[in-house]
């Protein structure tokens, strides 16, 4: 049985890793693909391991639920007179010995309702695990794209720092030759210092992003790995339709994928568990009986005496009103939680779709308009500066504009990648519904 989450994560990994050989995560110490990150997350993430243990515990509960009350054997010797024990073997002495077996018999299908409740609890635990795999996979993917963004920012800042350093050194040479004013040389030196500070901050952010991903992958104990992780996948190519061209949501399709989400399935199973618990509480109104059979050996009366009996409690029905009412409340609460989870899942899907639309629009504007315009503006400013038509400050402003556009473009690509990842992982295939 494949969960909805497994399908969505597999789809995501295949899209990003198409054409690549499957990565062996045990040998990766630096370069990581998103597919390898997701695989490592499923294998080593601590939250997922905890969810697996919860499934094992639910399986143990299911095993316990199928156990019926055991029969009880008792042996009693009575009517013993120490002054008249007689002689010979114990069998012929005047001792009244009773061997008895009592077997409780459940009525009202209690065992059946216990097993159904435990089975629903196990199914809920399995879906909880699937949801943890989904959420932790999403966390890992978000951390992966954050690392990719930090790498891009580091590259941009490094290039900007190198350019500022070269300009400052050239300015100092021209100042020494009397070919440049001290004011302009100072401005370039200040610009180089600003670039150096930004470069240091970018390096810190890169280290933080690498460590954040290493924690998700349970690699934080390996200092060489946690600070040296690298995201090697390119930004995903997201050829999404614009919001104006996207068809209106199909309610039937929305309901189908909504039912396929593991968190919704887990909440559904908990409703079933609560309903079974209610039936179990109602079945307690049927009093259990205890059947007894005994063998008595009393040489004074007869060597072999047999007896049978039945026992049952009185007034059981009225004592179950409280447990039944509590079980009814639990059913209502489980149904309320199901509706709450559905509403949150639907809102999450729409928010992620809106976030993806916004990010894609930003990427389109930056890649097709702002970046080309900023490059052309800098090229024109540098040419005009060479001709003496613009001041140094105008050139620096053009450089800053291009630098800001490059950083904005990297952030837009990261936002689009994260929004697409979140949308993919929160929208399982409708056919993935677990029966």
Q: Can you list the pairs that 362-369 forms with residues at least 24 positions away whose Cβ atoms lie under 8 Å?
A: 362/408, 362/412, 362/415, 362/416, 363/238, 363/409, 363/412, 363/413, 363/416, 366/405, 366/408, 366/409, 366/412, 367/409
Cα–Cα distance for residue pair 227/207, rounded to 1 Å:
6
For residue 306, the SS3 value is strand
pTM value is 0.75
List the strands of the sheet with 96-105, edge to edge: 72-78, 96-105, 289-298, 302-311
Which pLDDT value is given to residue 13?
Answer: 45
Which pLDDT value is given to residue 176?
Answer: 81
Which residues 6+ apart lie within 8 Å of 16 measured at CB? 33, 34, 35, 233, 236
Handedness of CA 407, 413, 419, 425 (dihedral sign): negative
> Beta partners for 306?
295
Check: CB of residue 120 under 8 Å from CB of residue 46: no
Check: CB of residue 56 under 8 Å from CB of residue 122: no
| Phi-psi label, residue 88: left if phi above 0, alpha if psi -120 to 50, beta otherwise | left
Which pLDDT value is given to residue 74?
Answer: 94
Tokens in use for 41? 């997350």
Which pLDDT value is given to residue 333?
Answer: 96
> Within 10 A of 251 (CB to CB), how many other CB atoms are there?
8
Which pLDDT value is given to residue 431?
Answer: 38
Low-confidence ranges of the chain (pLDDT < 50): 1-28, 244, 430-435
Identify the structural domains of the chain with CATH numbers, from first to last: 4-432 (1.20.1600.10)
Which pLDDT value is given to residue 86?
Answer: 64
Which pLDDT value is given to residue 265?
Answer: 92
CA angle 272, 106, 125 (to 5 degrees): 25
pLDDT in tens, 227-262: 578 999 999 887 655 554 555 566 777 788 888 889
Which pLDDT value is given to residue 394?
Answer: 73
């Amino acid at each position: 049985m494949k969960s909805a989450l497994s399908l969505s994560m597999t789809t995501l990994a295949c899209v990003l890793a198409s054409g690549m050989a499957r990565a062996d995560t045990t040998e990766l110490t630096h370069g990581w693909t998103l597919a390898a990150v997701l695989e490592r997350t499923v294998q080593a993430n601590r939250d997922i391991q905890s969810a697996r243990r919860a499934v094992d515990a639910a399986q143990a509960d299911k095993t316990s639920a199928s156990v019926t009350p055991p029969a009880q054997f008792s042996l009693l010797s009575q009517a013993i007179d120490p002054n008249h024990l007689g002689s010979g073997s114990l069998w012929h002495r005047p001792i009244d010995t009773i061997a008895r077996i009592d077997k409780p018999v459940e009525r009202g299908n209690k065992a059946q309702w216990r097993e159904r409740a435990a089975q629903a609890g196990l199914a809920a635990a399995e879906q909880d695990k699937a949801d943890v795999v989904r959420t932790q996979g999403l966390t890992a993917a978000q951390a992966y794209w954050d690392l990719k963004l930090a790498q891009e920012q580091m590259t941009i800042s490094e290039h900007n720092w190198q350019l500022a350093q070269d300009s400052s050194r050239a300015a100092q040479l021209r100042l020494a030759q009397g070919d440049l004013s001290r004011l302009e040389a100072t401005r370039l030196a200040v610009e180089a210092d600003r670039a150096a500070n930004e470069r240091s901050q970018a390096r810190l952010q890169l280290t933080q992003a690498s460590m954040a991903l290493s924690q998700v992958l349970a690699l934080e104990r390996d200092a060489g790995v946690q600070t040296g992780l690298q995201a090697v996948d390119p930004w995903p190519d997201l050829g999404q339709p614009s919001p104006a061209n996207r068809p209106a949501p199909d309610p039937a399709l929305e309901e189908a994928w909504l039912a396929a989400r593991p968190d919704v399935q887990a909440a559904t199973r908990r409703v079933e568990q609560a309903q079974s618990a209610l039936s179990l509480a109602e079945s307690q109104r049927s009093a259990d009986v205890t059947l007894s059979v005994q063998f008595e050996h009393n040489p004074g009366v007869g060597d072999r005496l047999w007896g049978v009996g039945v026992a049952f409690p009185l007034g059981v029905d009225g004592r179950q009103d409280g447990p039944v009412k509590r079980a009814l409340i639990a059913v209502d609460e489980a149904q309320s939680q199901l509706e709450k989870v559905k509403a949150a899942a639907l809102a999450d899907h729409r928010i992620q779709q809106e976030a993806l639309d916004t990010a894609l629009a930003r990427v389109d504007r930056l890649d097709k308009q702002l970046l080309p315009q900023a490059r052309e503006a800098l090229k024109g400013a540098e040419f005009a500066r060479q001709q003496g038509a613009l001041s140094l400050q105008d050139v620096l402003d053009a450089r800053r504009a291009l630098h800001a556009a490059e950083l904005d473009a990297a952030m837009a690509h990261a936002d689009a990648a994260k929004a697409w990842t979140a949308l993919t992982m929160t929208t399982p295939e409708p056919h993935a519904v677990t029966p």
